[in-house]
């Protein structure tokens, strides 16, 4: 399998699936979601974390949701924030800000800036998140360049998923392998080890409860790489439906907090189930 160079950035593929997921909701629920997203924007234009504070990581998910819903007023406020902020307290913040600026402000991110952001370890984070965000940024800025595909293809061909890796990392690697034209059948089967009938996708195989983050990224990876999800769709639909709460989606693992991140994953999961 060879990679296609009719390239669409992965984050734009996310947004298309979120749009499909939103369309699957009834009119009242769609309005609830749009109201919730607007309410999560701080007066300075950023989106807020669960404590109501402006947060770059949550702003990234709020940005993608606002794009999917054509909330132009929200995007205008976020644009002003992205133009003025230099607050990069963590690796996640740095990648989130660069992703927003590259897309919303059409700001070219240099390869050197990306390398520096990836190598800095002043605020260590889960490696799967760091890999996920860096791949999105690299894909958005350099995805049309054949040399990048060649380099990634070589690296991924010899990369082995570490034992005990979270579902999100396996999903990210599945998408990356598909993007560069490598086989994905073994990765698809590895993803399915995180799935349990009646529960859904779990963050780790030994965990007894599903969560919406794992659900969203696993379904996206399976759908994108051509896996037939009809057999697992009923459990996934039931899980996502149970997570909906007045315009937002809960994590699904018992956490009752509502935020833009899990609302994004809920709509992404729904959109990936559309064909079933």
In this predicted structure, the answer to whether residue 27 has a pLDDT above a threshold of 80 is: yes
Name which of 133, 230, 116 is nearest 172 in CA terms.
Answer: 133
Q: What is the pLDDT of residue 114?
A: 61
In this predicted structure, the answer to whether residue 188 has a pLDDT above a threshold of 60 is: yes
What are the pLDDT digits (tens) for 203-217?
999 999 999 999 999
Average pLDDT over residues 14-21: 96
In this predicted structure, the answer to whether residue 244 has a pLDDT above a threshold of 50 is: yes
Q: What is the pLDDT of residue 158?
A: 83
Tokens describing residue 251: 């994590």
Q: What is the pLDDT of residue 14?
A: 95
Instruction: Judge contact between 39 and 74, C-beta under 8 A.
Output: no
Calculate the alpha carbon distances from 69 to 36, 39, 180 in Å. 12, 14, 30
| Residue 54, SS3 per DSSP | strand
Q: What is the DSSP string of 197-255?
A: TTTEE-SSTT-SS--HHHHHHHHHHHHHTT---TTTHHHHHHHHHHHEETTEE--SSS-
User: What is the pLDDT confidence band of residue 254, given thresholds at 50, 70 and 90?
Assistant: confident
109 Cβ contact list (under 8 Å, min separation 6): 98, 101, 102, 137, 141
**Three state DSSP letters for 154-210:** HHHHCCCCCCCCCHHHHHHHHHHHHHHCCCCHHHHHHHHCCEECCCEECCCCCCCCC
Average pLDDT over residues 112-137: 61
Q: What is the pLDDT of residue 180?
A: 85
What are the pLDDT digits (tens) for 120-129?
554 444 555 6
Helices (H) and strands (E) in the chain, counts: 13, 6
User: What is the pLDDT confidence band of residue 268, given thresholds at 50, 70 and 90?
Assistant: very high
Q: What is the pLDDT of residue 48?
A: 95
In this predicted structure, the answer to whether residue 198 has a pLDDT above a threshold of 60 is: yes
> What would the CATH number be for the domain defined by 10-272?
1.50.10
Q: How many CB atoms lie within 10 A of CB 4?
A: 10
What are the pLDDT digits (tens) for 41-96?
999 999 999 999 999 999 999 999 999 999 999 999 999 999 888 756 677 788 88
Tokens describing residue 81: 């924030």
Phi and psi at residue 32, in whole multiples of 5°? -60, -40
What are the pLDDT digits (tens) for 227-243?
999 999 999 999 999 99
Which region, left, alpha or beta, applies to residue 30 given φ > 0 means left and ψ of -120 to 50 means alpha? Answer: alpha
- pTM for this predicted structure: 0.90
Phi and psi at residue 241, in whole multiples of 5°? -60, -40
- Helix orientation angle between 146-157 and 167-180, rounded to the nearest 10 degrees: 130
Average pLDDT, rounded, for the chain: 87
């Amino acid at each position: 399998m060879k990679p296609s160079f009719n390239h669409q950035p992965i984050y734009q593929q996310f947004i298309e699936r979120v749009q499909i997921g939103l369309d699957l909701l009834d009119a009242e629920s769609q309005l609830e979601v749009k109201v919730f997203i607007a309410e999560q924007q701080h007066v300075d234009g950023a989106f807020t974390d669960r404590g109501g504070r402006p947060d770059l990581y949550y702003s990234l998910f709020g940005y993608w949701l606002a794009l999917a819903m054509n909330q132009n007023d929200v995007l205008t406020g976020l644009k002003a924030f992205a133009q003025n902020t230099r607050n990069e307290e963590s690796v996640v913040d740095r990648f989130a800000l660069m992703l927003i600026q590259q897309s919303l402000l059409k700001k070219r991110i240099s390869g050197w800036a990306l390398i520096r952001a990836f190598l800095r370890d002043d605020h260590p984070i889960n490696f799967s998140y760091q890999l996920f965000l860096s791949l999105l940024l690299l894909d958005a800025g350099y995805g049309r360049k054949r040399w990048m595909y060649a380099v990634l293809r070589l690296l991924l061909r010899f990369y082995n998923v570490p034992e005990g890796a979270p579902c999100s990392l396996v999903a990210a690697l599945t998408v990356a392998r598909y993007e560069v034209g490598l086989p994905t059948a073994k990765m698809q089967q590895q993803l399915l080890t995180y799935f349990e009938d009646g529960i859904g996708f779990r963050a780790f195989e030994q965990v007894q409860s599903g969560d919406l983050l794992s659900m969203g990224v696993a379904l996206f990876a399976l759908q994108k790489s051509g896996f037939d999800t009809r057999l697992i769709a009923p459990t996934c639909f039931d899980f996502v439906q149970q997570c909906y709460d007045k315009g937002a989606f809960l994590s699904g693992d018992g956490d009752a907090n509502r935020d833009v991140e899990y609302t994004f994953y809920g709509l992404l999961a729904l959109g990936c189930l559309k064909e079933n």
